[in-house]
Chain A
Amino acid sequence: SQQGEEDPQALSIQEGENATMNCSYKTSINNLQWYRQNSGRGLVHLILIRSNEREKHSGRLRVTLDTSKKSSSLLITASRAADTASYFCATGVYNTDKLIFGTGTRLQVFP
């Protein structure tokens, strides 16, 4: 079964608004990563947060991790039409080399 479940499944916003996506997972992790996929293309890595970190920033991206609740969130600030894509969280399963992906959030940003 999928390690991560994402919420919401789909999100539509206007340009300039913030977009927040949430990810919940089931087991212990080494790290949690977020990836972006444009319409059927290969996934592109966005950001990695380690299990001992609580928050990380990269440009307009902010990721939080709460290991006690087994959850993470990705915030995209000041969204642009070019941010339209599917976003996936992926968990590095503790003590393994597996990277398991969630179900994804489809983000649509309208100009």
Chain B
Amino acid sequence: DSGVTQTPKHLITATGQRVTLRCSPRSGDLSVYWYQQSLDQGLQFLIQYYNGEERAKGNILERFSAQQFPDLHSELNLSSLELGDSALYFCASSGAGTGDEKLFFGSGTQLSVL
């Protein structure tokens, strides 16, 4: 068990809908990373937060947004969903968020857009 909790584990929804994925980092970790894993695109870095503030941005679509709350949990919001958004979404956490530490990954949320 990595100590990183992601909910829900599975999500099935329709095109055009909006969903929220939730992540609780390991106790004491200040940094949260979001990744998208799909068969054709591999593991794509989306965004990173450190202690409530956005720290780094990757290939995140404008339809997607995220935030980290004062209790350090994070949410990834996906809107106007398309078939191509079907993927496994991972959250990971680390202590200092310097990019120089290992990440602890959650077990992911499998999103299916029908």
- Does A pair with B? yes
User: Counting chain B CB atoms within 10 Å of each CB, which of A43, A88, A90, A97 scores highest?
Assistant: A97
State how many residues of chain B have any CB contact under 8 Å with chain A.
29
User: Residue A11 at the B interface, CB < 8 A?
Assistant: no
Q: Is the CB of A44 within 8 A of B99?
A: no
Which residues in chain B, 57-114, are within 8 Å of chain A measured between CB atoms?
Answer: 58, 88, 90, 92, 97-108, 110
What's the dominant secondary structure at chain B's contact region?
Answer: strand
What's the dominant secondary structure at chain A's contact region?
Answer: strand
Q: Is the CB of B104 within 8 A of A45?
A: yes
User: Residue B42 at the A interface, CB < 8 A?
Assistant: yes
Q: Is the CB of A101 within 8 A of B45?
A: yes
Q: Is the CB of A92 within 8 A of B56?
A: no
Q: Is the CB of A99 within 8 A of B42?
A: no
- Please tell me the size bucket of the interface on A: 20 to 34
Interface on B for A, CB 8 Å cutoff?
2, 4, 31, 33, 35, 42-43, 45, 48, 50, 55-56, 58, 88, 90, 92, 97-108, 110
Interface on A for B, CB 8 Å cutoff?
2, 30-31, 33, 35, 40-45, 48, 50, 88, 90, 92-93, 96-104
